[in-house]
Chain A
Amino acid sequence: MSKNTVNIIIDGVEIEAQEGQTILQAADDAGVYIPRLCYLKGLIPGGHCRVCTVKVNGRPASSCTFPVSEGLVIENDTEELTTLRRTVVEMLFAEGNHVCPACEASGNCELQAMAYRLGMLAVTLPFLRKPRELDATHPDVFIDRDRCILCGRCARASEAEGKRVFGFEGRGINKRIAVDGEHGLKETDLKAADRAARACPTGCLRLKRIGWKVPVGQRQYDTTPIGSDIEQKQPVG
């Protein structure tokens, strides 16, 4: 065992992790999928969505921000946590205005795919039905805030590439994703090739003119559950 390696246990299986990693990163490397929405590989973790909640030594914690240390005992794939995560995902659906049959992200959307994976058949919480603003001013990119889950991936990606096109505005239920341009996205220096323009897990921030290009049945999550790529890396257990 090298000096900066620690051992942690996820669902009864011992896993070797690198010091400085988060639980989620260590699990990814070991081929164990922990559901997540606001985490995107290569970006600083945000800790916003709580879909990645695990139990660390019996207490709930977000695995995308929790650093590993020797001997941590983690629960991940349990009925209790699946129910909790499904409830969090239901809240995201209830808060926004998601009409999957009319959404060009359908089939390629991480929020929808997460709901499928967690077995969500209906949103049992009452819908909020709050109008949200659409921004179609940019020639190549649009923002349909009805579908925003406030994960902050666009903002963190933009900051990482030195642009700060996106940021949060307001608090609590009035929180929204804002852009660095008085009259919308067209006044920002966002380019279609930016990582920020491709970091959104939902149908909110998308490139124009590519919707419905991939036929139903061949889209990313039509037959393959989200997280399969990580689980296929190295089967555990």
Chain B
Amino acid sequence: MAKPLVATAPFTGCFGCHMSLLDIDERILDLVELVEFDKSPINDIKTFTRPVDVGLLEGGISNDENYEQLKLFRKHCKILISVGQCAITGGVPACRNTVPLKECLEEAYLNGPTVVDGGVLPNDPDIPILLDKVYPCHEVVKIDYFLPGCPPSADTLWAALTALLTGKDVGLPYELIKYD
């Protein structure tokens, strides 16, 4: 039987959830025995070329690129898992959700204490366009599982992934449900 394919996405997060996945120590060797990585920043594969079994999503949806990528992940992955508080709630980036976007941009680029010579709002066409709010992934597409934490511990990720890939129930014990 071919190994299950896993893809991972870095949306609006800090990469800490990806780091936590690498933090499973020597179990990473078991993991590569168990799965094959497809599109992911870990191996720098940038496009989907085949159907993928599990998509791991880090980060919330804060710009048009995140949005398009999340739609692509939903299209190509059988199972989507929101990993970490950013993907699940918007996380720390969602602190901006109670401030109008215009005010945020002006504070950061025009009026902030570190701005020199008047500043300028970023307008390069290559920079993704910010959305009005930072959205959790499940407010954009259907998400199948949630692994909370900031980041979820390596043990949480390991327990959930191995359960899922071996067809077992992903029920997390009390100690592994954390929002920080």
Binding site for B on A (CB under 8 A): 97-103, 106-107, 112, 115-117, 119, 121-124, 126-127, 129-132, 146, 216, 222-223, 225
Contact B97 A123, beta carbon cutoff 8 Å: no
Contact segment of B34-42, B83-91, B104-112: B83-91
Query: Is B139 engaged at the interface, CB distance under 8 Å to the other chain?
Result: yes
Shortest beta-carbon distance from B85 to chain A in Å? 6
Name B71-98 residues within 8 Å CB distance of A: 82, 85, 88-92, 94-95, 97-98
Shortest Cβ distance from A225 into B: residue: B174
Is B15 interfacial (CB 8 A cutoff)? no
Considering residues B92, B174, B180, which has the most beta carbons from chain A within 10 angstroms of its beta carbon? B180
Contact of A117 among B148, B174, B180 (CB under 8 A): B174
Contact pick for B133, options A100, A121, A129, CB 8 Å: A129
Whether the Cβ atoms of B177 and A116 lie closer than 8 Å is yes
A101 near B99 with CB under 8 A, answer: no
Contact A223 B146 (CB under 8 A): no
Q: Is the CB of A129 within 8 A of B180?
A: no
B91/A99 in contact, CB under 8 A: yes
Number of CB contacts from chain A to chain B under 8 A: 71
A residues less than 8 Å from B139 (CB atoms)? 126-127
List 23 A-B pairs, Cβ < 8 Å.
A97-B95, A97-B98, A98-B89, A99-B85, A99-B89, A99-B91, A99-B95, A103-B180, A112-B179, A116-B174, A116-B178, A121-B88, A121-B172, A122-B88, A122-B89, A122-B136, A122-B143, A122-B148, A123-B136, A126-B139, A127-B90, A127-B97, A129-B98
- Chain B 139-180, CB within 8 Å of chain A: the 1/0 string? 100010111101000000000000000000000101101111
A122 interface neighbour in B97, B133, B138, Cβ under 8 Å:
B138
- B98–A131 CB distance below 8 A: yes
Q: Is the CB of A119 within 8 A of B177?
A: yes
With both chains docked as a complex, state the minimum distance between the C-beta of A74 and any C-beta of chain B, in angstroms. Answer: 25
CB of A85 to closest CB in B, whole Å? 15
Contacts of A102 in B (CB 8 A): 92, 95
| Assembly CA distance A100 to B91 (angstroms) | 8
Residues of the B chain whose Cβ atoms lie less than 8 Å from the Cβ of A132: 98
Residue of B nearest to A106 (CB): B180
On whether the beta carbons of B98 and A122 are closer than 8 Å, the reply is no
A176 to chain B, nearest CB (A): 14
A172 to chain B, nearest CB (A): 19
Contacting pair B148 A121 (CB below 8 A): yes
| Residues in B neighbouring A98, C-beta threshold 8 A | 89
The answer to whether A99 touches B92 (Cβ under 8 A) is yes
Report Cα–Cα, A126/B94, bound state, in Å: 13
Instruction: Contact check, A130 vs B98: say whether CB atoms are below 8 A apart.
Output: yes
Which residues of A have CB within 8 Å of B97?
97, 127, 129
A101 contacts B150, C-beta separation under 8 Å: yes
- Choose one: B89, B98, B99; the contact of A123 (CB below 8 Å): B89
Measured between beta carbons, the chain A residues less than 8 angstroms from B150 are: 100-101
Minimum CB–CB distance for B90 against chain A, Å: 8
Known: A122-B88, A122-B146, A130-B98. 14 other contacts (CB 8 A): A98-B89, A99-B92, A100-B180, A101-B91, A101-B179, A107-B180, A116-B174, A116-B177, A121-B148, A121-B172, A122-B136, A124-B138, A127-B97, A131-B99
